[in-house]
Structure 1
Amino acid sequence: MTQCEVRRKVQEDTQRAFGRLDVLVMNHGLVTTAPLAELSQAEFDFTFNINLKSFVVLIKAAVPYLEKTKSSIVCVSSIYSTLCRVGLLPYFLSKAAMDHMVRCLALEPKQMFEAVTPLSDRHSTVHEPIDAIAFLVSEEARYITDQCLIVDGGLSLKGNPRNWPPLKSSL
């Protein structure tokens, strides 16, 4: 059985056992340590298969189930997606690619993401930033520090503000 088949089987077994899929949380990764000159193609491919391709395969398989329950996908990345260090190129690249994949998927049409993010015709309510702040000061966020949390409903994913369509007036 291939890795892709194993991933699909896990999702199908979950769907059969519980009758639904409420959330997909992916928190896995593999670190390959070798400078580029010593890195084999097989090591590079294996790292990308685990750290990136598996996320794509699982998300693609989960979307039909998650659309039914209007549920969420959570991809846990790594601070190393933004850093550099000799000998960890495949891991750092795969995590950076995963971060960008999430941003790209948030804009994809005809998937569960479209209805939620990015929000197209409204500003946030006063409660949405307050909810984020309440989380950040809660015990549940005790291990989060030094982060900029963007609470914009995906607006920043649309790129240059000059290209954004005008908002409808609420008056």
Structure 2
Amino acid sequence: MNRLEGNVALITGGGRGIGAAVAVRLAEEGADVVLTYENSADRAAGVVEHIKAGGRRAVALRADSANPAALTAAVDEAAALFGRLDILVNNAGVFPVGPLEEVELAELDRTLAVNVRAPFLASQAAVRHMGRGGRIISIGSNIAQRAVFPEMALYSMSKSALTGMTKGLARELGPRGITVNLVHPGPTNTDANPSTGPHAQAIAGLTAVGRYAEPHEIAATIAHLASPDAQYTTGTSLHVDGGFTA
């Protein structure tokens, strides 16, 4: 399919995991892709080469999402490189886990900076380049909807904030033809939460389907939301969690 032919997409944190799968899927559907990364330069370069081998343009930009200047500069550079920006996927995130009493202020600040402030600032910068048909898609978490594990209050709080942002931006940007949506993945087989991890069997058992997702399964929903087929879908949260929140 070439539903995204002629579009330019920016994926934050697109060097690995769900972000890399999204970058590849959007390219397969016709988009040229810019992805940001913080530390995984080699893996980001591998994603870029994979996309180029498929005939699409791709660039990786180093940008720490906790750095507002670097993040907004990456958004502007993405638009400048390919002459437009149609799709923003707010994927970059941090995953803090620990007892409430041990959460330090620095960890609190960085979590909110990456998981909350960065999606807002990236969206703010992106809409300056978007016309009608623009798409903003953020990646939340099943933990924001069902906090079944202890020591994850900070992460849950940070991802819950994206619901309010999504609804507010959808209302504001709807008249401009820009849709804004949120995807809550369930347990997904990534480096941060591998399906072979020590607690994976228990985590998978909390889903209705009894297994982890693969990153490409999350990417498929994001590709739909990025496409013209989803032009009447905005302000909503979609759970791609195998029934974790059922």
What TM-score, normalized to structure 2?
0.45
Aligned 1:73-84 pairs, distance under 5 A: 73-84=136-147
Do the aligned residues in 2 keep the contact of 1:27 with 1:75 (CA within 8 Å)?
Answer: yes
1:45-94 deviation line (CA, Å, top 9, x unaligned): 11011001000000001112113x53111112111110212211111111
Deviations 1:105-142 (A, max 9, x none): 1112xx3x334489xxxxxxxxxxxxxxxxxxxxxxx8
Could you tell me whether the CA contact under 8 Å between 2:79 and 2:85 is conserved in 1?
A: yes
Please identify the structure whose Cα radius of gyration is greater: 1
1:25 aligned residue (89, 100, 110): 89
Alpha-carbon separation, structure 1, partners of 2:177 and 2:144 = 25
Q: Distance in 1 between matches of 2:82 and 2:134?
A: 15
Query: Which consecutive aligned stretches of 4+ in structure 1 deviate over 2 angstroms post-superposition?
Result: 113-118, 151-156
Structure 1, unmatched stretches of 5+, are 119-141, 145-150, 157-171
User: How big is the shift at 1:100?
Assistant: 2.1
Cα RMSD of the aligned pairs, angstroms, is 3.0
1:70 corresponds, among 133, 143, 166, to 133
How many corresponding residue pairs?
125
Structure number with higher strand proportion: 2
User: The residue matched to 1:54 in structure 2 has which SS?
Assistant: helix
**Greater share of helix residues, 1 or 2?**
1
Partner of 1:100: 164
1:153 deviation in Å? Answer: 5.0
CA distance in 1, matches of 2:136, 2:80: 19
* Cα 1:155/1:51, change in 2 over 3 Å: closer
Q: In the aligned structure 1, how far is the partner of 2:151 from the partner of 2:129?
A: 39
Aligned to 2:76: 12
User: TM-score if structure 1 supplies the norm length?
Assistant: 0.63
- How many angstroms apart in 2 are the aligned matches of 1:24 and 1:50? 15
**Is the contact made by 2:87 and 2:136 (CA closer than 8 Å) also made in structure 1?**
yes
The question of whether the paired residues in 2 share the 8 Å contact of 1:15 and 1:21 is answered with yes
* Structure 2 CA distance for aligned equivalents of residues 97 and 82 of structure 1: 11
